[in-house]
Structure 1
Amino acid sequence: MRIIAGSAKGRPLKGPKGPGLRPTSDRVRESLFNILGQWLEGLVVLDLFAGTGALAFESLSRGASRAVLVDKGKEALRLCRENAAALGMLERSEILSSAVDSRLAPTLTSRGPFDLVFADPPYADFAPAQ
């Protein structure tokens, strides 16, 4: 996993070890960000279910002004912090430990408004009941 374009182009992202997190692939991110193009300049980004933070950090690399990353998993939060530090993006990112539900709304209201919201939940959260 790596940053695809922008100021951090080619820089590696730490990924999960073992099952649990399944990051968005480089190919999917590249397609998504090709569509977004230059619209990211100066935007404030919210990355729900952040995982490794790849979507937020790609946005920051391509000109977003700041990003708020939200995840409830300990491993995901650790990876977000480590990736932000390794990329020199700590000052422009805020990493929140929280489930993505209605209780999160007041916290986000004080940090917004957001220009772009990514929501890439883990498959397990939406799997049919057995």
Structure 2
Amino acid sequence: MATDYFQVSPDSPPKLKKIEDLNNTPPPEPFEVKKYKFREHCFNEMRASYRKYRSRLHEKYKKYETDEVRMQHIPEGLSAEDWLQMLQLFASPEFKALSLKNANNRSNQKVIACTGPTPFAQTEYDMVNVIFDFDGCHIMSLSLL
């Protein structure tokens, strides 16, 4: 029988026993897979939105010199308590160390992205097509002579 091939003896290492357990579990339902993918997509979108929002708050934080002045300019839609928590986060040594590390890494970049949201692979593909089109046009024009 084909299922006997996957059976592991009791003396086998735990890693192989886990493989046997995985083999005995039924595959997930298609709806469950879609639900999981949708959930992951939603969480990724929420993470990205929160990072953008926090970045905008940090820009407002950097506008002013002192916390007293910053507390007078609370961003719209944010409570005073939440703004105070963000001020404490932005002033924390951990946040400042991470910001400094990221700024140094950014300044050490040799290649600066200038294609906007277009992936580099797409830009490279487009450039290759332009070269092939150029070669094709010039070869054809030479053949007409």
TM-score (norm 1): 0.20
Q: Normalized against structure 2, the TM-score is what?
A: 0.18
Bigger strand share: 1
Q: Which has the higher contact order (CA 8 A, sep 6+)?
A: 1
Say which structure is richer in helix: 2
